[in-house]
Amino acid sequence: SSVLASKDSPAIAVPSTSQALNVEINDWVTSSLSVVVVGASGDLAKKKIFPALFALYYEGLLPEEFQIFGYARSKMSDTDFRDLISSTLTCRIDAAEKCGDAQEKFLKRCFYQAGPYDDSSGFAQLNTKMSEQEVSKPRANRMFFLSIPPNVFIAAAGGAAEQCSSKTGWTRVIVEKPFGRDSTSSRELSDGLSRYLREDQTYRIDHYLGKELIENLTVLRFANLVFEPLWNRDYIKSVQVIFSENFGTEGRGGYFDQYGIIRDVIQNHLLQIVALFAMEPPVSLDAEDIRNEKVKVVRSMQPVQLDDVVLGQYKGRKEKNFNLPGYLDDATVPKGSLTPTFAAIAMHINNARWDGVPFLLKAGKALDNRRAEIRVQFRHIPGNIYKHKMGSNMDNTSNELVIRIQPKESIYLKINNKVPGLGLRLDSTKLDLQYQSTYKKELPDAYERLLLDVVNGDKRLFIRFDELEAAWELYTPMLHEIEAKKVAPELYPYGSRGPVGAHYLAAKYNVRWA
């Protein structure tokens, strides 16, 4: 790897993987990078974006000359802004090395401009401020992160594009979900953004695609001979994709109530996982080849039917020593809201590979644990000569592959094994890859990976326009039907396993939730 350095930056090692990462080294030498966080005073900026930018800086993965600009309506000086960022940074990557010095240097590169989202005057001032800092290199690349509520997406994209587009380098804009509430509003949003931005400048983020085990999903399938031949209806009985959180919507009730769990998590994060899981092998790792396959498989899915959906909403739970609030106890949630905080959905893919295999998706807030995982249940062994040597539960005799996305990332395969010793008895045990003990290194946060991809112009992990359209087409009719019929969610206690209806749905497909 080569090393680039400047007076106030640590030596920047151009990673030897740079070619694989599609980094244009030459671009780094001749260009500066400005990252603008629009909505810099907000929750996501503080929780995810600033820490991720610092991690990339610390690891030498950002260009030699870069600066960060915060933009929001709140009034702040550069110093206030640096204090705000400073409170979000940790030295989690390398605590032993004391990254305090790096933090100081990082903060010196942070600047703030206050201004409205729906009026270009503030963006014009931002442009002046950016130009003042971008003097050391002949080219200036600019990257915007729209970390703001959806009602101001288009106005802010317009202000940024019209006033702050780079004259010498590229301009790229990251848009956070929600990308609309249904097909129509999503199309309106896309049309609005496309007035100011070309598709190649637009990066629609789905942070689940930046998670380590989701990136690994295609590696697991296509770089191992043992899985792909089994990846079809002949061997796989059912697939479960489970998202569970052991906390409620605390503090986000206002946002959540307009969307509900299906729009918040299932239509995007879980559907993206299913698409990567189920797509045909792409021609190459090129972003367009991968996204072509994802669109194809999403378009092969059946639009979700209401009788394949179970809705739930958590209710409060009072115990002797604690009192857990229900969804409706949140002051920002309208009284009597029917918004689901839990949903279980069966999806079906009408193609030769997956015909007849149910994909069961489940997502819920305020459940008994926090986990996200994919569970692949294989069919029973035909003519199993060991049938009588297994436990009484027939489910235990099938193999199961579990991809644990979080926490404690792991991949394990449940196999039948002889219990060691005299006699012949079989049990179900695991071939187990635990990331923590195998790789002994902290995994990058999804936002680190995705921000780096935007710097490098790599769109593999971002949602293309037609992919988004296809995803909404699957969910819009059912969401409208739920709203028109005012379907009441089944109540479940905070901290429970969710509504019993979910078990009936699984039973309909001869499946048991893990």
Residues annotated as catalytic (active site), given as ranges: 269
Ranges within 166-185 binding ligand NDP (CB under 6 A): 176-178
Using CA atoms, how far residue 137 sits from 63, 111, 140, 264, 495, in Å, is 11, 18, 7, 41, 55
What span, in angstroms and rounded, lies between the C-alpha atoms of 331 and 506? 34
Interaction partner, residue 272 (ligand NDP, ligand BG6, none; CB < 5-8 Å by kind): none
Closer to ligand BG6 by Cβ: residue 245 or 373? 245
Closer to ligand NDP by Cβ: residue 73 or 380? 73
Instruction: Tell me the DSSP string of 262-290.
Output: IIIIIIIIIHHHHHHHHSPPPSSSSHHHH
Helix axes 183-194 and 465-484, enclosed angle (nearest 10): 140
Closer to ligand BG6 by Cβ: residue 245 or 453? 245
State in angstroms the smallest separation of the CB of 259 from ligand BG6.
Answer: 8
Instruction: Report whether 344 contacts 501 (CB < 8 A).
Output: yes
CB atoms inside a 10 Å sphere around CB 28: 23
Helix (H, G, I), strand (E, B) or coil at 370: coil
Using CA atoms, how far residue 432 sits from 226, 415, 418, 443, in Å, is 15, 10, 17, 18
Of 59, 134, 264, 448, the one binding ligand BG6 (CB under 6 A) is: 264
What span, in angstroms and rounded, lies between the C-alpha atoms of 314 and 340? 8
Interaction partner, residue 264 (ligand BG6, ligand NDP, none; CB < 5-8 Å by kind): ligand BG6
Ranges within 359-398 binding ligand BG6 (CB under 6 A): 372
Ranges within 449-508 binding ligand NDP (CB under 6 A): none
State in angstroms the smallest separation of the CB of 214 from ligand BG6.
Answer: 11
Instruction: Give how many residues touch ligand NDP by CB under 6 A.
Output: 20
Instruction: Give how many residues touch ligand BG6 by CB under 6 A.
Output: 5
448 binds ligand BG6 (CB under 6 A): no
Interaction partner, residue 44 (ligand NDP, ligand BG6, none; CB < 5-8 Å by kind): ligand NDP
Which pair of tokens denotes residue 289?
């080849």
Instruction: Report whether 88 contacts 51 (CB < 8 A).
Output: yes
Residues 190-209 vs ligand BG6: string with x where CB under 6 A? -----------------x--
Of 68, 148, 346, 461, the one binding ligand NDP (CB under 6 A) is: 148
What span, in angstroms and rounded, lies between the C-alpha atoms of 283 and 268? 24
Pairing of strands 139-146, 31-38: parallel
Q: Which residue, among 161, 122, 169, has the nearest Cα to 144 in the 3D structure?
A: 161
| Site stretch for ligand NDP (CB under 6 A), options 144-152, 165-173, 284-292, 500-508 | 144-152
State in angstroms the smallest separation of the CB of 384 from ligand BG6.
Answer: 38
| Site stretch for ligand NDP (CB under 6 A), options 37-45, 192-200, 324-332, 468-476 | 37-45
What span, in angstroms and rounded, lies between the C-alpha atoms of 399 and 414? 5
State in angstroms the smallest separation of the CB of 247 from ligand BG6.
Answer: 8
Instruction: Give the footprint of ligand BG6 on this chain (CB under 6 A).
Output: 207, 245, 264-265, 372
Q: Which residues bind ligand NDP (CB under 6 A)?
A: 39, 41-45, 47, 72-74, 117, 147-150, 152, 176-178, 255
